[in-house]
Structure 1
Amino acid sequence: MKRIAIDMDEVIADFNPKHLRLYNQDYKDNLTLEDLKGGRLAVLRPHLASEITEYLRDPSFFRDLEVVKDSQRVIQSLSQEYEIYITTAAMEFPSSFTAKYEWLREHFDFLDVLNFVFCGDKSIIRADYLIDDNASHFEHFSGQGVLFTAPHNWNVTGYDRVNNWQEVQQYFLK
C-alpha cells in the first residue's frame, strides 16, 4: 500500500482566517486572504513581524482552527487505498504540540494516532507522496511532492498542484 503524508496547517487546518482575524482585531487593520496572495502576513507587515509570529506561540492557537473543507471526507476515502500520515512541522512552535494533537484527535479520529508525525525537517518522512503548502519541504523529500494551494504559495511553480480537496481526490482516486 502506498503512503501519503499530509501536512496539517493550511492543508487540513485552516490557519489563515484565525491568524488574520486576530491580527486585524488587534491592529485595527482589514487585510483579507486576497491580500496574502504571494506572501505571508509577517511579510506584508514587517514592522509587526515578531508580534504576528507571537500569535503562533500561544499554546491554544492551533486548537480551534477550522477544518479545511472536504479534507475529512477525502482523507477518509484515501485511507481505504493508501496509508495516511499527518505530518506537521511543529518544531518551530513546540508549544503547539498538545493543541495540534488534540485537534487531530477531534477532527481526524478515524486515523491511527501513531500516524501523527510531529517533526521539523520533513525529509525524514518515508512516503510516496507529500501534500504540503510549503514547497521547501519537497527539496529533500524522496517521494512526489504535491503542492496544496495557499495564499503564500500562489506564485510557486514547478510542482504538481491541487487547489482543494476535491482536486486531491481526483489526483489520487482517479
Structure 2
Amino acid sequence: MKKTFKVVVDCDDVLFDCNGYAVTKLNREKEYAYKKEDITAWGELGCGLDERLIYFRDPVFVRDMPVLPKAREFIQALSRRAEIFIATSVAAECAGERVSSIIRNFPEINPENILIGTRKDMLKADMLLDDCPDHIRSAEVTYPVLFRQPWNLSVSGVISTTTYREFLTLVDMVQKPEPEMDPMSPVVLVGPSGAGKNRVATALEETGRYRRVMGYTTNAGSRAFYRCVSWEQFHYKRNDFVETSSYMGEMYGTCREDVESVFREGRIPLLVMDINGAVNMRLEYGARIIFVSAGKEECIRDILSRGLPLEETIRRISSIDGEMKNETLCDMTVSGTGFRVSSLEKTP
C-alpha cells in the first residue's frame, strides 16, 4: 500500500492573519500607526507593538481573526496532494474558538487532524509549513519549510517559501522528483557553500550553450555575479524579479528580463542560487535543478580559504548539513570537484 503523504500546517500567520489583524486592532484602539512589517523579530520588541500580544489570549480575537488571502484555495489544492494536519499553539482558553474557525473555514481538513499544542518537535510528517524559525529548526519532519513573514526575514539556511504556490511546487517536487524537462529549460545549480557551484557554472558557460544570469543584491560586499543596488532600488525593482531571497539580512533577486534575454540568444539560462530561488525558477520556467555535491570537509576547507567575516563563515559552515538535505529535491546530482560537462549536457 502506498504511504500517505502527510503535511503539517501552522495556523497563525500561515492560514490566519494573526499579527496583521492584531496590528490593525491595536492601531484602532490606541491610535498608533504601526504596520505588520514593523514586527521584525519573534516575541517582544520593546515598543508599543508588544501591547498586541494580549489579544492572543482573547477567544473573541481568535474567533474573528480573518483568513489570509488565498488560504482557502491553498488548502483545497493541498488536500488533493496530501493528508493535512493542523498544528496550532493557541492559548488553552482559545482552543475551542480556534478549532471551530478551522472547521468553518477549511472543511477539507479532518477535525481529528487538528492538533493543539506547542510541541511541534514531536510531530512526524513529510512536510511542515510554519512561520516560527524555532519550530523549523526543531522539527522532526522530513522537509520543514519556513513561511516568510517580516519577523523571520533574517533567517537563512532553511527551505522557505513566500507564497502558497511556491509551497505547492515544493510538494510536487518531493512527490514527483523526475518531471519531463524541456532541454532548453534554465539550469539552476544548488548545494552547500564551498561545494564548487561556481566551478560547475564556469565549465558549463565555456561550452557556449549556457550563459550565467547575473543577480541583484543589497550586499555591497558581494562577489562577482551580482549587481549591487541600494535597498530603495531593490524595492523599486521588486516587480521585475522572478525570485527574491534573504540571506544574513541582505536581499538577493533575479530579474525576469535577464533570464528572457538569454533565451533570445538561443542559449540556456544558468543560475546559482539556494533551493528557495530554485523553487521559484521551477515554478516560473520549469527549471532543471542540479545539486552540486562535495564532502563536508571539502566545503569547510573552501569556505575557510575565502577570508570571509567570522559571522558569515560560521553561518555558511553551520548551514552545510541542512543544505545537503536538499539533494533529494533536485533532478540530478553532479560532483563539484570532478565535474564533467558530459554528465549534464545532452544534445537535444
Q: TM-score, normalised by structure 2?
A: 0.46
**For residues 69 and 81 of structure 2, what CA distance do their matches in structure 1 show?**
21
Q: Which has the larger Rg?
A: 2
Partner of 1:59: 59
Identity %: 25
Contact persistence 1:3–1:129 (CA under 8 A): yes
What does 1:138-149 align with in structure 2 at a 5 Å threshold?
138-143=136-141, 144-149=143-148
**For residues 171 and 145 of structure 2, what CA distance do their matches in structure 1 show?**
11
Tell me by how many angstroms 1:11 deviates: 0.2
Tell me by how many angstroms 1:40 deviates: 5.2
Partner of 1:99: 97
Decide which of 94, 108, 111 is 2:109's aligned counterpart.
Answer: 111
| Higher RCO (C-alpha under 8 Å, 6+ residues apart) | 1
Residue-pair matches, total: 169
Partner of 1:137: 135
Decide which of 17, 26, 30 is 2:20's aligned counterpart.
Answer: 17
Contact persistence 1:87–1:118 (CA under 8 A): yes
User: Which ranges of structure 1 fall in alignment gaps of 5 or more residues?
Assistant: none
User: Which ranges of structure 2 fall in alignment gaps of 5 or more residues?
Assistant: 174-348
What does 1:19-168 align with in structure 2 at a 5 Å threshold?
19-36=22-39, 38-39=40-41, 42-45=44-47, 49=50, 51-90=51-90, 93-143=91-141, 144-168=143-167
Contact persistence 1:11–1:148 (CA under 8 A): yes
**For residues 46 and 159 of structure 2, what CA distance do their matches in structure 1 show?**
27
Tell me by how many angstroms 1:127 deviates: 0.7
The letter for the 2-side match of 1:134 is: C
- Aligned residues: CA RMSD: 1.8
The letter for the 1-side match of 2:88 is: T
- Render the CA deviation track for 1:46-102: whole Å, top value 9, x for unaligned: 6x73x4321111111111222122222222222222111011112xx2111011111
**For residues 117 and 107 of structure 1, what CA distance do their matches in structure 2 show?**
16
| DSSP-derived class of the 1:109 partner | coil
